[in-house]
Structure 1
Amino acid sequence: MKHLILILVSISLLFSCRKKETFIPRIFSSVEISNIYSDSLLSIRAIEILNDGSLAFAANHGAFGLYNPIKESWVTSKQEYDSLDLQFRAVAHTSTDFFMLSIENPALLFKTGDNGLMELVYKEEGKKVFYDAMTFWNDQEGIAIGDPTNDCLSIIITRDGGKTWNKTPCENLPKIMDGEAAFAASNTNIAVVGDKTWIATGGKASRIFYSPNKGETWEVFDIPIVQGYATTGMYSIDFYDELNGFAIGGDYTIPEDQQANKIKTIDGGKTWNLVATNHNPGYRSCVQYIPNREGKELVAVGFKGIDFSKDGGYNWKHISNEGFYTFRFLNDSVAYAAGSGRISKLVFKQ
């Protein structure tokens, strides 16, 4: 027995003395860009990679489509409703359905139907209606957010897989500040991790709205990002896990301005600090953590190009002048990006 105990202790010490594998950051110096879809009439600001690896988009003029990467083929269509010229900038998906939400009055939310066509599941009318982004916590529960129509953000939530949506009453939400809204620039001003949700507002006031319980209750946090004008503030937010998050924005009318347009949190969004102020990049409309890279590597895109950080957003390297509005990672080195008249495949190179 004594020898057995000694053996077990030795094994325990062996494993406890092993050092944690050191994270080695990559240094992307370029990105290979190949267009997979082109239409000069479209401004594409919303894409989603579905569970099977296919790529879906929705855009202006009612256009939407699905890309099969194995066959390298597209199926595209046009959503019609009365005689409206529908503008889609928010999309989302579950394991079984795809959703797309138009921005203006009336707001129209469609989901894939049993007959293969998109079916209308939510409609909202009003002069101030303007929806910006949408995502799902799980297959049953999802959220979409929009500009205020009264004295609070517009937040609609589904609890039945997207069949029905209900608007959260203003008495259950923090009051909006003067000139505070959101930007329908990339479908990335909502971030979710587990039950937690963060919403990035922008404009004359730019703040973080936070819910710990899938939209049941909300609180709001001030942030140090540039604000004060209708075109300033956060445009995009992403969280790597429940603690580490990053937001980017600026002023799209002054895209070279690098002052106070990048912020970072390490405490779940309660406090935020400016990073890389007066350094690249300037205004960007979308930021995403690279998956499975310990929250160290990020990419940001905008109509002025693509930038990469290897250290959690403290320092950035400009790797392309090619402009896009939004993007999503397929894996840790390949992404799809969309912009003016095109969708492209991005392969990041060291």
Structure 2
Amino acid sequence: MRGLGKTRRTRLTGFTGRTGSTGRLVTAGVCGLALAATLTAPAQAHGPDQGSGRTAGLGSVGGSSGGKAPHWELKDSGTDVRFRGLSAVSRNTAWLAGSKGTVLRTADGGKNWRNVSPPGAAELEFRDIEAFDSRRAVVLAIGEGEASRVFRTEDGGATWTESFRNTDAKAFYDCITFFDSRHGLAMSDPVDGKFRILSTRDGGRSWKVLPSAGMPAAQTGEAGFAASGQCLVSSGPRDVWLATGGAPRGRVLHSSDRGLTWTATDTPIPAGDPARGVFAVAFRDRTHGIAVGGDYRADQASPQAAATSRDGGRTWTTAGTPPPAYRSGVTWLPHSRTSALAVGPTGTDLTTDGGRTWRTLDTGSYDTVDCTPDRACWASGEKGRVARLER
């Protein structure tokens, strides 16, 4: 594809493996408030996770009635691929998508993972997956030209149908999202100066490229990051947001008509380099959003790595106390109006004030995070890492 050329290839090499975000609408409820309360109540301290133990403690944060702090409990995925694609359906059911064409599914809370990878996909890089339930899912493979593909299953991964294969050498698809079980979008890095949007109205069985007339011009070098499946997210029946970087300004683009017309807004998250910008966004409704990002290179600092919006993405405000380093994934806690989790290679952070301030809960490496209506939160990342939040 044009625009990023070899720089884009280098960036993706750094992202070998794979979040996916479901774009669900999250509403207030008692169970979510209880989860947020356990994450912020005093409790006994747990040592930081170094990636070697079964559980990853959430520091001194959290606690249950038994006094045990909430923590990421690592699940044995049985593989060492990197999972940047994650779609959590419930406490028991979750889907993972990663490098080497790998798709895994659990139906028992992570005790067992079934390899349900599409046949012949070993050379593909899956970076985003959107699951509707334990049987239906759509997965995106990223890359230049025909490396960008979409597959769909209706039987839990027993069989897959390739429903889209990119034939434009200039296109490079990064993320997908669904408004409901039928309507969804996928986004490509700019083609002929504008981001390209792919649309489905039948649950991913067929796709078509939307007209570009309503898409603002891209900046030089601007693109999405295929880092967590959260560079394109939706909330409600029509609103969708697209996160960008790699250009002078990290931006968030918003559409309120399922991708036909867009407005672009600068964010305070630093960009100006192919490795920097907005990596992920999450909206709990059509108004309140959080953006995270930074510089994915381990030797580079990431100041101002988070921002918030209270007007649907029209304006963004820097977090007063942002995460201490680059973060690639973010999600609102289920049924909470103020609490969210952000993850990255150096840790997990929690906000309880809508994204204005963050504090680190865990130092384990994760690329993406997703929560479900039944109070389950999952995270996944490098070396086959996948975990569920336990209390």
TM-score class, shorter-chain normalisation, is 0.7 to 0.9
1:46 lines up with 2:101 in the alignment: no
Equivalent position to 2:127, from 76, 89, 103: 89
> 1:61 touches 1:78 (CA, 8 Å); kept in 2?
no
> 2:91 touches 2:376 (CA, 8 Å); kept in 1?
no
Gaps of 5+ in 1: 1-20
Q: Which residue of 2 aligns with 1:119?
A: 161
How big is the shift at 1:123? 0.8
Equivalent position to 1:212, from 256, 268, 281: 256
Match of 1:98, as an amino acid?
A
1:329 lines up with 2:368 in the alignment: no
1:190 lines up with 2:229 in the alignment: no
Q: Which residue of 1 aligns with 2:301?
A: 257
Equivalent position to 2:331, from 288, 302, 309: 288
How big is the shift at 1:171? 2.7
Q: Which residue of 2 aligns with 1:303?
A: 345
> 1:292 touches 1:332 (CA, 8 Å); kept in 2?
no
Q: Which residue of 1 aligns with 2:10?
A: none
Q: How does 1:27-106 map to 2 (within 5 A)?
A: 27=40, 29=61, 31-50=70-89, 53-69=92-108, 72-81=111-120, 85-94=123-132, 97-104=136-143, 105-106=145-146
> 1:246 touches 1:263 (CA, 8 Å); kept in 2?
yes
Match of 1:142, as an amino acid?
G
In 2, the alpha carbon distance for the partners of 1:344 and 1:116 equals 22
Bigger strand share: 1
In 2, the alpha carbon distance for the partners of 1:219 and 1:274 equals 20
Q: Which residue of 1 aligns with 2:52?
A: none
Given the two structures, how large is their TM-score scaled by the length of structure 2? 0.76
| Count of residues in correspondence between the two structures | 325
Match of 1:239, as an amino acid?
F
How big is the shift at 1:227? 0.9
Equivalent position to 2:172, from 119, 125, 130: 130
Equivalent position to 1:267, from 301, 304, 311: 311
In 1, the alpha carbon distance for the partners of 2:130 and 2:287 equals 23
How big is the shift at 1:197? 0.9
In 1, the alpha carbon distance for the partners of 2:97 and 2:336 equals 29
Secondary structure class of the residue paired with 1:43: coil
Task: Pick closer, same or farther for the CA change 1:127–1:313 going to 2, 3 Å.
Answer: same
Superimposed CA distance per residue, residues 41-88 of structure 1 (whole angstroms, 9 cap, x where no aligned partner)? 40110011236951111111111121012693222133244x860110
> 2:339 touches 2:351 (CA, 8 Å); kept in 1?
yes
Equivalent position to 2:271, from 205, 227, 231: 227
Task: Pick closer, same or farther for the CA change 1:315–1:113 going to 2, 3 Å.
Answer: closer
Identity of aligned residues (%): 27
Task: Pick closer, same or farther for the CA change 1:125–1:52 going to 2, 3 Å.
Answer: farther
How big is the shift at 1:331? 5.1
In 2, the alpha carbon distance for the partners of 1:70 and 1:325 equals 20
Gaps of 5+ in 2: 1-29, 42-60, 62-68
Match of 1:44, as an amino acid?
F
Structure with the larger RCO, 1 or 2 (CA within 8 Å, 6+ apart)? 2
How big is the shift at 1:163? 1.4
> 1:293 touches 1:332 (CA, 8 Å); kept in 2?
no
Task: Pick closer, same or farther for the CA change 1:215–1:140 going to 2, 3 Å.
Answer: same
Task: Pick closer, same or farther for the CA change 1:113–1:244 going to 2, 3 Å.
Answer: closer
In 2, the alpha carbon distance for the partners of 1:284 and 1:49 equals 19
In 2, the alpha carbon distance for the partners of 1:71 and 1:147 equals 34
Equivalent position to 1:202, from 236, 245, 248: 245
How big is the shift at 1:344? 2.8
Q: Who wins on radius of gyration, i.e. which is larger?
A: 1
1:318 lines up with 2:360 in the alignment: yes
In 1, the alpha carbon distance for the partners of 2:303 and 2:262 equals 29
In 2, the alpha carbon distance for the partners of 1:217 and 1:45 equals 28
Superimposed CA distance per residue, residues 7-65 of structure 1 (whole angstroms, 9 cap, x where no aligned partner)? xxxxxxxxxxxxxx9x8963161542322233454011001123695111111111112
1:147 lines up with 2:189 in the alignment: yes
Which 10-residue stretch deviates more, 232-241 or 152-161?
A: 152-161
Given the two structures, how large is their TM-score scaled by the length of structure 1? 0.85
